[in-house]
Amino acid sequence: MIKKLNEIEARYVELEQQLADPAVIADQVTYRKLAKAHSDLEEIVTEYRKLKDVMAEIESVREMLGDQLEPELRELADEELDELESSRIALEGELKVLLLPSDPRDEKNVIVEIRAGTGGDEAALFAGDLFRMYARYAERHGWELEGMVSNPTELGGFKEIIFMISGDRVYSRLKYESGVHRVQRVPETEASGRIHTSAATVAVLPEAEEVDVEIDPNDLKIDVFRSSGHGGQSVNTTDSAVRVTHVPTGMVVTCQDEKSQHKNRDKAMKVLRARLLEQLEEEREADIAETRKSQVGSGDRSERIRTYNFPQSRVSDHRIGFTTHRLDGVLDGELDEIIEALILNEQGERLKRAE
């Protein structure tokens, strides 16, 4: 590990020198690329330099203990050595985590698809609650949310809603949200006060750029039609709604939220591209399915990952046995406690496999 850390530090120093070169500063494309590489290494190098300082202090204290010391000074030196050793172990643990290969998709924006599952109107209302939860979470992190496709119900829920969240390393945090989310509560439509269980599925897809997925225009069937609202009534006087079908896979994306046909087509293509990228990733990972399963669930939309229990104000993540009784806070977008626990669990599993 030390050899690798020395190589990383040397590369970091080299990048610092390049970033100070006037020729590089004048070339903004090159400068941004090198600045990004420098930033990516900064945390590792900072922690490694702390480790080197601690190791130097340990060596110094050990040399001191080799001399003839008064009993009181020896006791103080022993205590200092114990503290330094604890710091060394902690820093080495942090560096092992930082050296784990990162998921290249972590930097990407995401497209989130929420669909009502079992439970009828109540499931659609819960899908709306999940949408608002992610909208608040995005707001708390300074991320931008853009609606793409929605199929609302008359009671204020959604049969389906698809939206994009853009910002800093969005996928790295929201990738754990894919799966079945279950709710236990008394529905607004329930007169007898019985608790019902309903569900909604969440899929978090990394945004796919055109370079990630190449789509042959000849493989697309594009239909345009008039947008419709609740009950099928027309809400637009022009054929602005767009249905894009990817013939080879049979994937269909319909978008009618925008008044512009061009905007609806762009949004539909973004969703299609993300779905195709997900399919490609699944095919690539088919041979290493065991690895995927061990990473805090498979991301499979059929896997129940979390339950929101209203009577007990409890949220339970079944993958890691995490429970909190701050249901209102979670639904208001306070998801970091759960997501941090999921990240730590995944890092622990990856470290075990790396040993």
Give the model's pLDDT for residue 166: 94
Does one domain contain both 349 and 294?
yes
Does one domain contain both 82 and 136?
no
Q: Per residue in 228-252, pLDDT tens? A: 654 444 444 467 888 889 998 888 8
Question: Of 76, 98, 120, which one is at a domain's C-terminal end?
Answer: 98
Question: Of 65, 98, 131, which one is at a domain's C-terminal end?
Answer: 98
Q: Which residue has the tokens 């959604």?
A: 158
Residue 278 sits in a domain whose CATH number is 3.30.160.20
| Whole-angstrom distance, CA of residue 53 vs CA of residue 69 | 24
Q: Which tokens in the block code for residue 39?
A: 């930033």
Q: Per residue in 69-107, pLDDT tens? A: 777 888 888 888 899 999 999 998 888 878 877 788 888
Q: What are phi and psi of 5, to 5 degrees?
A: -65, -35
**Above 60 in pLDDT, residue 298?**
no
| Whole-angstrom distance, CA of residue 188 vs CA of residue 327 | 18
Q: Per residue in 182-225, pLDDT tens? A: 999 988 766 677 888 999 999 999 988 766 778 888 888 888 88
Does one domain contain both 64 and 125?
no
**Above 60 in pLDDT, residue 128?**
yes
Does one domain contain both 254 and 295?
no
Q: Classify burial at 270, counting beta carbons within 10 Å of its beta carbon; exposed 0-12, middle 13-18, buried 19 or more.
A: buried
Structural domain total, the chain: 3
Give the model's pLDDT for residue 208: 84
Model pTM? 0.72
Does one domain contain both 295 and 240?
no
Range of the domain at 91: 2-98
Confidence of residue 316 (pLDDT cuts 50, 70, 90): very high
